């Protein structure tokens, strides 16, 4: 079931990231400019494909997972841009090299503005900025925060200038 939620509630939900370590990023040729970031506890994934999942990234999802489709960048300090969604995403390229600096870092603060732009600050001084830049005509979601490890699948999606919360029964 999907419902629109107030910005204040979404601010509370993204606040759950504070204190959580980021332990994995998924990006590259298979995702193009989109990126998935996994935070908090590692939740085992039920293998529904019937094959062996060898890599940790496949075997676990984050307690909180942030899927990003909109424009984004990773900054360090006031003047250093580590990577962004416009960078080449090939192996060894600037996007993956910059994102690989994030795992192990812990979220120290989050903030969101009325445009639903999200800032995730890390203890190292790095910052992840998301720019909710999709107009209503092209709004298929800017980013989504998944809450995993519960009896429901919960997605808080920033799109069309509002936040939508979708809840579905979790895997059996």
Answer whether residue 86 is part of any domain.
Answer: yes
pLDDT for the residue 76: 95
Domain count, the chain: 1
Closest CA to 61 of 24, 20, 33, 96: 24
| Two structure tokens written together for 26 | 């998924």
Answer whether residue 53 is part of any domain.
Answer: no
pLDDT for the residue 47: 62
Answer whether residue 131 is part of any domain.
Answer: yes
Answer whether residue 29 is part of any domain.
Answer: yes
Phi, psi (rounded to 5 degrees) for 137? -65, -25
Answer whether residue 52 is part of any domain.
Answer: no
CA separation for the pair 154, 14 (Å, rounded): 13
| Tens-place pLDDT, residues 86-112 | 998 888 889 999 999 999 999 999 999
pLDDT for the residue 170: 61
Answer whether residue 55 is part of any domain.
Answer: no
CA–CA distance from 41 to each of 37, 61, 76, 141 (Å)? 13, 8, 25, 25
| Tens-place pLDDT, residues 7-55 | 888 898 899 999 999 999 988 777 778 899 999 999 888 765 555 555 6
Which residue has tokens 């909180």? 64
**pLDDT greater than 80 at residue 169:** no
| Tens-place pLDDT, residues 117-158 | 999 999 999 999 999 887 665 556 788 888 887 766 677 877
Answer whether residue 132 is part of any domain.
Answer: yes
Answer whether residue 83 is part of any domain.
Answer: yes
Mean pLDDT of 66-85: 93
- Its domain, for residue 36, covers 2-45+61-169
């Amino acid at each position: 079931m999907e419902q629109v939620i107030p910005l204040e509630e979404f601010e509370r939900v993204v606040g759950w990231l504070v204190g959580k370590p980021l332990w994995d990023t998924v990006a590259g040729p298979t995702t193009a400019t989109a990126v998935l970031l996994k935070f908090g506890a590692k939740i085992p994934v039920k293998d529904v494909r019937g094959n062996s999942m060898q890599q940790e990234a496949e075997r676990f999802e984050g307690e909180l997972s942030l899927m990003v489709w909109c424009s984004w960048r990773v900054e360090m300090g006031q003047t250093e841009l580590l990577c962004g969604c416009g960078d080449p995403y090939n192996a060894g390229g600037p996007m993956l090299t910059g994102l690989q600096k994030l795992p192990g870092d812990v979220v120290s603060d989050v903030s969101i503005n009325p445009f639903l732009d999200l800032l995730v600050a890390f203890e190292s001084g790095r910052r992840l900025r998301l720019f909710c830049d999709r107009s209503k005509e092209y709004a298929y979601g800017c980013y989504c925060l998944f809450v995993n490890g519960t009896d429901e699948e919960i997605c808080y999606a920033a799109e069309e200038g509002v936040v939508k919360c979708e809840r579905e029964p979790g895997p059996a």
